Each structure stands twice: as C-alpha cells, then as structure tokens.
Structure 1
C-alpha cells in the first residue's frame, strides 16, 4: 500500500484502508503460467506503475492501492491498480489471472525473481519458498498504535473462517481438483509461521513473540510473519492476510469493507474492556480448515459455538455484528447488496469448479478467470 497521505499519529481506527492483490501471469494463447521477465524487472526497478510491485516469482505481480478513506476510493484504486498491472504484463505479451492458484500450471514453471529479498526467502525457507505458487489479497486498516493493532488481532481470530470462505478462489492445484475451495490456505499453512497466533495481549506481548521467532531463524523481521492477521511492519495498520485473491472487483471491495468494519467494531470492544473471546487453537484450526474445504458451498464451523452452521447463516451473523458500524459509515446498503450478489453467484472457486464439471476443459476455467478479473477495468 502506498503511504502518501497516511497519518501516523492520532488517526482514528479504520479511517484509512488499502488493499494489496497478487496475480498470476499467463500466456494469452495457451493460458499457461508464463514468466514476465520485462514486467518483473520493471516492477523491481519501480518502473511498472506506482501501484505495481514484484512478487517472489516472475510469473506473478503484486498491486497495492493508495491510501483510501471510502469504498468508492477503494474501487477506483483497485481499477487503476489492476489496469497498471495489466499494462505491465503486456510488456511481455501476457495477461493477468486473478485466482489464488492456476488451474493446471505447476510451481516447477515459476522462476524466482532475482531480487535480494526473494533470494533471501529461498535461502531461509528453501523448498517452501520455491513452491509458493499461490496468490492472496491483503487488506490494511489504519490504527493509531501497535497496542490497538494487537487488540484487534486477538479478537479477530473467530472471524477468520467466514471471511476466508467468502473469498475462496483456489480449487485446483497442479492440474488436480483438490476438493477444496481454498487450496491456497492448506498450501500456505505448511509454513511454520502461518495461521492465526494465540492472543498476544498487548504490544509488548507481540514484540516478545516476534523476538522469539527472529531468534529461531524462521523470520528475519515482522514483514515475514505469515499470520492470517498481523500488525504491519512498516505501516500504522493492522493487516488481514487470510483471503484468497478475489477474482471479481466487487468481491475485493466487499472483503475490504468487511475487514475495515470488523476492525472498527473489535477496536471498540477492546476500548470498552470487553474480553478476548476464548477459542482453543485446535478448534480455530478446524474452523479455518472447514472454510477452506467448503467455502460458501457447504457448512462452516463456528469456533465460538463449536457447531456447524450454514454459510448464509454465518454470513448473516457477521453482517448483524457489523450492521451498526456499517450504517454509521453509510456503507450498509452497499455492503449488503454486494453480499447478496456473492451469495447468488457463489465464490470464484465454486464458479471455476462449475465450469470444469460442465466442460471438462481447464482452459475454459482459465478463460473465465481472466475474463472475470478484467471486468470493470478501464
């Protein structure tokens, strides 16, 4: 996320937000995963557009919006960022594929980007880094200090499953239908520092855990924490990193809206001294797995009630908790409309699988993702 205009002192919780998205690069004729050497080099040099950045592989690009205060700005920035990324990809004659996994291409065809950061990642994590053939969506929400970020992080854990379920876009991996809506979640969880941390308590608690992880060698610093939610290492934000990359623009805007509202609600609860919900890590992992398995196509597991619930019930419960905040922000009607559209058409993963089952043609799946991801660009 670009930092121009970002206030770092005294900022109200949730006043600002920004979105980062990662995309695969594909050949327009074969739709195979294809290195974008010119695009990657330009991104490394800061010459691919102000919103475009390199990723660990030359078959990927990342975009980052500017700092936004309204959902209209989020939408406008995402359109501009996706357009800049598409123009960067065009340097190599390639297209963007906005799904967390490619329908058939393998990590074997993903050269590591020749940047110092990415080479260091391979040196630290070896095969885990080389096999990182997944893309995600990250939402930054402004907070005034690290204590607030940690308070939100501690309270956000039970909401990870439903937010994940609503963004699923990775049913395939290495050419196989995995049976999951978010295979990215399972693939990502192989890292020893992925998932949701136990409650940290406060800023000092966070610093102690981070110091231990640095001492272990698993991370170099806070920018390498692969938690589902983390304090940003470089911005005054709390960063939600749990989501698959959203194929459609509307789903990306919806995810950002829900995350920001949740941050405001949870920070308010912390300010009132309401306790952190008690959720066993085993139960939370089960709920996260259930969301990755079923998305919105099957039951979700409520980690607080410890029971299966229908997806629409889980989404409705989330909206009920956020309704007052969304109404105060003037966002409730827009968010509810986007939720109804998502529930009506299903997740990207569900649509991809439906195309595959109907056609038996993975190329048709890739064509659909490319087409949906490009919709709305100027």
Structure 2
C-alpha cells in the first residue's frame, strides 16, 4: 500500500509524465508504432517493506513511528511508516548499476535494523508475519489511511503484509502501458521467484506466497488489464475513482502500474524478499524485462496476450507452489517445471542482462535460488530443523540485515 503522502522514490529524472509519449503526435495505441529502445542503462530503484518484531516473543510489535523517527536521522525521507504500525518502508535512489543498488539496499536495511534495535526490536523482511496477532492491526494515523479503513473496511484488517516494489525508468505513460502489456505474462514467474510468505500468524498456509493471495482480494489488484490504448487506461482509472473503487490513482494496486507522479513503471508482484541479494536479483530481472519489452516494441512485435483467466490461474499456481513443482504458462495454458520456465525466461532476457552488465550477477543469483530455494523454501527449512516457528523468525532476523554487512552510510 502507498505511504500516507502517496510518495514514491524519485526514480526518474522528472516528476511528471508530461514528456515523450504524452506529447502531441505520439501514437495512442500501446502496441502500435516504434517505441524507444534506449542504449543507455535504464534506471532501477526499490521500495522494501519490513515488519517489526519483539526479539523475545518473536511477535509483531506496533512501534513503527518510533523506529522511523530514529531511522530518519541517517535516512531522511527514504524511510517512512505504512498502513499499520507493524510496518516500516525504505526506499532507494534510482540506480543504473545493480551492484550499487544492492549496496544501498544493504545499507538501508542496516540503518533500519539499527533504529529498531534502539527500540529493543528487530526487523524481518517477509511477505507475512510468522507469529503474533495481526488482525485487527493498529493503524497508522493519517487522513488517507483513515479513508482507506472507512472505504475498504475488513480488507484493511489483513494488510500487515509486506512487498518489494521495483521501479524502472521509462520515458512516458504511453511507453509504460506498452511495456506493461509485454511484461504481464511474466508476472507468475516473478511471483514464484520472490515468494517469501508461507506462514501467517502461527500456521503454515500451504502457499509459498500467502501475501499474493491475501492481496488479491482488493478490487484493483493482481495482473493488470491489457491496455488497448492510453485512453483505455485513462478512462478506466477515471471510472475506478469516480465509483469509489479506489481512493485515487495511488490506489491502483495492480502487479504492474505506471507511477502516478514519476516517470517509472512499477512492478509490485514480489513479496518482501528475505535478503538484499534476493531483492537485487528481482530488480535485475525486472529491468531486463522492461528493456526486452522496449526492444520488442521497437521491432513492432505484438505482446503475448494470455486470457485474464489463465493469467490469474498462473499467478495463483505460482503463489501456491513457488519454484517447487510445475507452473502454468499463461500463454500456452500448459504445465511445466517452474525452474525450466525460469531458464527459458533468462534465455529471453539474456541480451538485456548483458547490455546492462547484469548477466553474471543475475545468473549467479538464479543458481543460488535454484540450489537453496526461494525465501519461502528457506523459511520452511528453518522450521524443519526443530519444528519451531520462533526459529523461522530468528532466521528472518539474521538474513534481513546480517550483522557486519552493508553498514556504509546510504
């Protein structure tokens, strides 16, 4: 969920969409005509959300305002509160170098972890709380949050969930919509790779990403529509606002959305990842997806257009099984091993990964996940050792901000 101010990190070189495809004479149809294929590296930035826990009980702790106040000294407005007092959000700058992005993620985590320790707390990066009583949550003060609770009612009760949002710089709204059409079939694989929420309040849900299932109940969530044109997007958003389905444009909670005030495309499908390296891996993949889509647009390639039903089914299967077993290809409707699907995706993204200098880093990250599992697999492995959920929380504490790493000033 967006912060109270609706702010996003400054991921582009302008605070407005009023350039490029928004200018007169640009084709309105998101798949028609040549689009930009920049030779310069695309910018990428990240928003991460963390949960606060008591290190003794391992339960959630509603002390977000105190932690944010303590973290604001080194981080300024890079750290904010969220909907509930259990959550803290940290934001990176835009980067063109993935190694630099990874270093800033580690530094942000270290700074927030230190601020939490000053309050006698710890932070965990997990899509859902492992222990504690998240329902109903204590909500953060603020007019927008109050409007959300009034409008969405019990939907807000289970929003003590955390995501990782990736922003990639794109030149204009029309391009963002074109790229969204090309990228949406890859959403299930991103969800599977980033799945890190198997537990909810003391029980194993049977899902790799329970956050995906919980979040999908919102009226504007999950995979976005295929946008026929910019006017299709604008008309739809206007209707959603005027009917009270969303509070404002910041309430578009699709897995891909154009930022409403920055020239970026935001992918929101990932759970809060267990490690900074996991986040950097997802960011590298997302940037390569956007770059690959831009080249496809330039070449006049039409985007794959899976049916909404199959795309939704594929996202559900990815949330349930993660990287284990088989996933649904939303375009063909066929089952195949999820790991093999990731291999095919990486082959498709290889030119873009090489062009950005990310190929070795992303390949190594995928090899690590393939061998050790995604975040959900590692949470369950921590539980299997002694059958204690407290061990899962301890595992998350140790992997979210490892002591002695990333303590350089953000």
State the TM-score bracket (shorter-chain normalisation): over 0.9
Superposed displacement of residue 350, structure 1: 0.8
8 Å contact 1:14–1:261 — kept in the other structure? no
Tell me whether 1:377 sits opposite 2:406 in the alignment. Answer: yes
Tell me whether 1:212 sits opposite 2:239 in the alignment. Answer: yes
CA displacement 1:259-295 (0-9 Å, x = unmatched): 0010011122122221121211111111001100110
Shift of the 41–356 alpha-carbon distance from structure 1 to 2, 3 Å rule, reads closer
8 Å contact 1:24–1:60 — kept in the other structure? yes
Name the structure 2 match of 1:285. Answer: 312
8 Å contact 2:47–2:91 — kept in the other structure? yes
Tell me whether 1:122 sits opposite 2:123 in the alignment. Answer: no
Name the structure 2 match of 1:166. Answer: 193
8 Å contact 2:68–2:115 — kept in the other structure? no
CA displacement 1:1-35 (0-9 Å, x = unmatched): 53287346569486211000100000121111001
Shift of the 44–284 alpha-carbon distance from structure 1 to 2, 3 Å rule, reads same
Superposed displacement of residue 87, structure 1: 3.0
Tell me whether 1:15 sits opposite 2:22 in the alignment. Answer: no
- d(CA) in 2 for partners of 1:47, 1:330: 30
Tell me whether 1:197 sits opposite 2:255 in the alignment. Answer: no
8 Å contact 1:139–1:240 — kept in the other structure? yes
- d(CA) in 2 for partners of 1:14, 1:151: 19
Superposed displacement of residue 371, structure 1: 0.6
Shift of the 117–65 alpha-carbon distance from structure 1 to 2, 3 Å rule, reads same
Higher relative contact order (CA 8 A, sep 6+): 2
Shift of the 14–105 alpha-carbon distance from structure 1 to 2, 3 Å rule, reads farther
Tell me whether 1:243 sits opposite 2:258 in the alignment. Answer: no
User: Of 179, 203, 210, which aligns to 1:152?
Assistant: 179
Cα RMSD for the two superposed structures: 2.1
Unaligned stretches of 5+ residues in structure 2: 1-7, 21-35
CA displacement 1:315-349 (0-9 Å, x = unmatched): 10110110011112221111101110111110110
Corresponding residue SS for 1:23? strand
TM-score, structure 2 as length reference: 0.87
Superposed displacement of residue 188, structure 1: 0.4
- d(CA) in 2 for partners of 1:4, 1:356: 38
User: Of 348, 364, 369, which aligns to 1:337?
Assistant: 364
Name the structure 2 match of 1:6. Answer: 13
Counting matched residue pairs gives: 378
